[in-house]
Structure 1
């Protein structure tokens, strides 16, 4: 029998160390292969678990592969609390949110799939509790943190005063988020708090890099994978958004995490 992906599942909340409530859902863990840990899915900036992982078929693909799934809304996003102070989005706090979710679920360890900014949060988790992470898939991210390349005054002016940004990437990222009703102050705080966050995974945790062939965001990912001795998969013809829907991405991740 197929398990429900989202509609019939409750949204649960874990309380992080600073009192922020983090929304998450647990999919199919009771029916999963007991020999493998659940897969923690960590979305990127200005998105949420439903859009990134449920709407693109990731949760269904993992359930069909007999993997349990934990999907999380990062703070400032989705059904999680949305503080508006930049300090609330320091990488160690974001990593702590994931740890709070794992503790709430009762998961001893997990495999992790991160996308875009979510990989900075995954990196913080592996720094806080490396023993809780078995394997990591790094999707749509490379050594350069995107916000560190932005003029933060431009992002602030666009989010708070609707002033156009000279940088087209800022426009391309923030305008759709605003149109979708995102909390502007929370997004700004997230940008300020995450800007420059490193992508560092302990060397004893196996990692797979996946990047769309036409995606400029993970520039340098192939070289970083080579430096780490990690696996690397390029998805032909895909950009930063369309890489998520790729069957090849899902297949590569499921095979790597087996």
Structure 2
């Protein structure tokens, strides 16, 4: 079986999203190798401050570069939240390198497209408040841990409106926390595609990642041939 490429979401990194939540250990227990990276603008990766640097096509090309450097031809993928927009671009450009995808914590409506970017800019660069609770919930924790604010603003501007569209011949499993507002419409998206959908009971956007139910569903799906 191919290794599993794990792609984190906005204002996070590979360690927080995948190691700290037990994913790498769970995949290892299932005898699956994992590949992780910090997306551009996050963690230990470069943090340019121009929005063009975060176009999904460029972020997807970063995934290709990581696989090339590791001499890996084909992967399974688990992506979370914004990471799914990156994986969509990656799979569109190199579908032959993607066997199966778990789309988690994301739906058809890209979150940043609904944001008032002036308010996001005010929160990040001027420490002002926002009337949008999601802007506050997403950005305040990132600010608290010392994230690069200008880079995060550029990420928002670069990714806003990016589609969630995995090529139709790649099998996909959709997963979302029962109490997560971010992936609104994902059940209908799964139905229209003819794909399975797993709801994680009692979990929100953050706590879904630690759920054993999520890990088990993903590992079982990725074990199929």
TM-score by length of 1: 0.86
Q: Counterpart in 2 of 1:233?
A: 198
| Alpha-carbon distance, 1:176 to partner | 0.6
Q: Counterpart in 2 of 1:154?
A: 119
Q: Counterpart in 1 of 2:155?
A: 190
Q: Counterpart in 2 of 1:52?
A: 17
| Alpha-carbon distance, 1:201 to partner | 0.5
Alignment of 1:159-178 (within 5 A): 159-178=124-143
Alignment of 1:88-107 (within 5 A): 88-107=53-72
CA distance in 1, matches of 2:160, 2:170: 24
Alignment of 1:69-218 (within 5 A): 69-218=34-183
CA distance in 1, matches of 2:111, 2:148: 20
CA distance in 1, matches of 2:41, 2:16: 15
Structure 1, gaps ≥5 residues long? 1-35
| Alpha-carbon distance, 1:114 to partner | 0.2
Structure 2, gaps ≥5 residues long? none
| Alpha-carbon distance, 1:246 to partner | 0.2
CA distance in 2, matches of 1:163, 1:126: 38
Q: In proportion to residue count, which structure has more helix?
A: 2
CA distance in 2, matches of 1:176, 1:215: 17
Q: Deviations over 1:21-64 (max 9, x none)?
A: xxxxxxxxxxxxxxx00000000000000000000000000011
Deviation above 3 Å: which 4+ runs of structure 1?
Answer: none
Bigger relative contact order (CA 8 A; separation at least 6):
2
